Amino acid sequence: MKKTTGTDRDVTAGWRPATRALRGGTWRSEHGETSEALFLTSGYTYDDAATVAARFAGEAEGMTYSRLQNPTVGMLEERIALMEGAEACRAQASGMAAMTAALLCQLSAGDHVVAGRAAFGSCRWLVDSLFPRFGIEATTIDAADDAAWEAAIRPNTRVFFYETPANPTLDVVDMAHVSAVAKAHGIVTVVDNAFAGPTLQRPMEFGADVVAYSATKLMDGQGRVLAGAVCGSTQFIEEVLLPFQRNTGPTLSPFNAWVVLKGLETLDLRARRQSENALALGRVVEGRVPRILHPGLPSHPRHALAMSQMDAGGPIFAFDTGSREKAFAVLDALQLIDISNNIGDARSLMCHPASTTHAGLTAEVRAEMGVTEGLLRINVGLEDIADLIEDTERALGAAGL
Ligand SMILES: *Cc1c(COP(=O)(O)O)cnc(C)c1O
């Protein structure tokens, strides 16, 4: 394998996000293939015993087993690290594998975590249900309340964990502020960047230490595979994450890595067009419902902050219809947009968080997060915006909105 384009950091330092997403981390075999090769292999063979001994001793570079390294997965890791502006990245089997590994690899019994309360349901489950079983304490806060971070710190606080924009209420966190508070107290900041993706928002530019992804969402972007990634410093990835990952095994399949590599080639294009479509559709919905939340709309409580952190508002917005009946009536009247709980997809998808993605939480937790019975969340896709507007207007009309 020759590391051909996008692997020399002196060259790639000047590349913009769209170029990084397309060209980063390309390795080529002796055949000089244009598209990345797919290495479906679990193991490797060696010319002699000394070579394998040196690799196992960490004295020579090279593959030993696909739980630890694989060329196709390696290309994806190099590309995501480059896009993120991170020293290193490890791919994971799913977004939740990424969140679990990024947090558990650095936490022990007796540690304390401060987490944003508006979060993906499974991220809340890690914090609320899994951590306490292992003696890890957690405090959930309103992540958009700047003062709440410092106020929640205890002597044993090790990690800050949040999403921005957050699922499903699109809360926006002041990343530079939270990173500064964390640094002043020796706390590691872990950001779940699934909603924006690395072409629209790079949390490390705002001081985040670790960025974790569901690559299932915008990075694949075409609803095909589950995948995840964790980015950080070389020291964090090699010394903290890797011992956890290599022995617990949340490894990404080379096939799924290859699919995500193909998805990344169009990520910048899709994320921008989907953001444009979301903004245009959001403007239509805005006049007809009691409340809408999209970081790109001036009505968002942290619109200015969001626009200083993101290149565009992203493909997702949420809006309140007033009641569960109205929300269901909107969903049932859709003819083009699918009822589906996925996000980041090129297809427009709408869901009712209170009965799906956030159904596992108690009514109190949902209320605290702003997940009302009338709330709908939409991932706006790449369809013609005129068709999306027609379908949405008809559905709102059917619900009396
Ligand atoms: C989807 C999602 C996850 C989980 O990712 P999977 O790939 O489905 O495991 C985590 N965080 C956020 C914000 C998500 O949207």
**CA 155 to ligand 1 center in whole angstroms:** 30
CA–centroid distance, 120 to ligand 1, in Å, is 7
Contact 376, 318 (CB under 8 A): yes
Whole-number Å distance between alpha carbons of 382 and 351: 18
Average pLDDT along the chain = 95
Residue type, 7: T
pLDDT in tens, 349-370: 999 999 998 898 889 988 888 9
Question: What distance in angstroms lies between residue 208's CA and the mean position of ligand 1's atoms?
Answer: 19
For ligand 1, atom 2, name the residue with the nearest CA.
214
Return the best residue to mutate from 217, 222, 225, 226 for the ligand 1 pocket (most ligand atoms within 8 A of CB).
Answer: 217
Mutate to test the pocket of ligand 1, among 216, 225, 256, 340 (most ligand atoms within 8 A of CB): 216
Strands 210-214 and 228-232: antiparallel
Res 164 pLDDT > 90: yes
CA 195 to centroid of ligand 1, rounded, Å:
9
DSSP-assigned letters across all residues of 315-364:
SEEEEE-SSHHHHHHHHHH-SSSEE----S-SS-EEE-GGGTTTTTS-HH
Q: What is the pTM of this model?
A: 0.96
With a 6 Å cutoff on the Cβ, whether 169 touches ligand 1 is: no
CA 271/CA 314 separation, integer angstroms: 7
CB 163 within 8 A of CB 75: no
Q: Tell the residue number behind the tokens 């990404």, with chain if given.
A: 252
Ligand 1 centroid to Cα of residue 352, in Å, is 17
39 lines ligand 1 (CB under 6 A): no
pLDDT of 48 strictly over 90: yes
Other C-beta atoms lying within 10 Å of the C-beta of residue 153: 17
Residues 143-168, mean pLDDT to the nearest whole number: 97
Would the CB of 123 count as within 6 Å of ligand 1? yes
CA of 96 to the centre of ligand 1 (A): 6
Give the atom of ligand 1 at the shortest distance from the alpha carbon of 343: 15
pLDDT value, residue 121:
87
Q: CATH class for domain 267-398?
A: alpha beta
- pLDDT for 17 equals 86
42 pLDDT more than 90: yes
Residue of minimum CA distance from atom 8 in ligand 1 = 95
| pLDDT score recorded for residue 300 | 97
**Minimum-distance ligand 1 atom for the alpha carbon of 96:** 9
**113 contacts 107 by C-beta, under 8 angstroms:** yes
Q: Does residue 344 carry a pLDDT above 90?
A: yes
Name residue, tokens 């490890």: 90
For residue range 304-341, list pLDDT tens digits in order: 999 999 999 999 999 999 999 999 999 999 999 999 99
3-state secondary structure of 314: coil
Pick the CATH number of 2-264 from 3.40.50.2020, 3.40.640.10, 1.10.940.10, 1.20.1250.20: 3.40.640.10
Q: How far away, in angstroms, is 28 Cα from ligand 1 center?
A: 31
Q: Find the angle CA(84)-CA(87)-CA(93) to the nearest 5 degrees.
A: 65
pLDDT at 317: 97
Give the residue carrying structure tokens 């490894």.
251
User: Is 214 touching ligand 1 by the criterion CB < 6 Å?
Assistant: yes
Q: Cα 243 to the chain's mean position, in Å?
A: 23
Sequence-distant (6+) residues with CB within 8 A of 188 are: 106, 158, 159, 160, 182, 209, 210
Question: 226 CB less than 6 Å from ligand 1?
Answer: yes
Ligand 1 centre and the CA of 397: distance in Å?
Answer: 32
Q: Which residues sit opposite 148 in a β-bridge?
A: none
pLDDT of amino acid 184: 98
SS3 259: helix
Rounded to a whole number, what is the distance in angstroms from the first to the last CA of the chain? 59
Residue 358 Cβ < 6 Å to ligand 1: no
Q: Is 351 in the pocket of ligand 1 (CB under 6 A)?
A: no
In this prediction, residues 263-284 reach a mean pLDDT of: 97
| Residue 92 near ligand 1, beta carbon < 6 Å | no
Q: Where are the alpha helices (DSSP H) in 186-266?
A: 234-235, 242-248, 254-264
368 CB burial (10 A radius; 0-12, 13-18, 19+): middle
Of the listed ranges 35-49, 215-229, 356-370, the least confidently predicted one is 356-370
Q: Is the pLDDT of residue 2 over 80?
A: no
Domain boundaries, the chain: 2-264, 267-398
pLDDT at 7: 78
Residue nearest to atom 1 of ligand 1 (CA): 214
Average pLDDT over residues 376-385: 98
SS3 319: strand
Ligand 1 atom 15, closest CA: 194
Q: What pLDDT, on the 0 to 100 scale, is given for residue 380? A: 98
Q: How far is the CA of 252 from the centre of ligand 1 (A)?
A: 15
Short-list 242, 211, 244, 225, CA closest to 80: 211
Element (H, E) at 282: helix 267-286
- Distance of CA 95 from the midpoint of ligand 1 (Å): 5
Distance CA 331, CA 340 (A): 10
pLDDT class of 10 with cuts at 50, 70, 90? confident
Q: What token pair was written down for 370?
A: 């702003």
Contact 111, 137 (CB under 8 A): yes
> Ligand 1 centre from 156 Cα, in Å?
28
Kindly give the distance from the C-alpha atom of residue 165 to the centroid of ligand 1, in angstroms, as a whole number.
Answer: 13
Residue type, 151: A
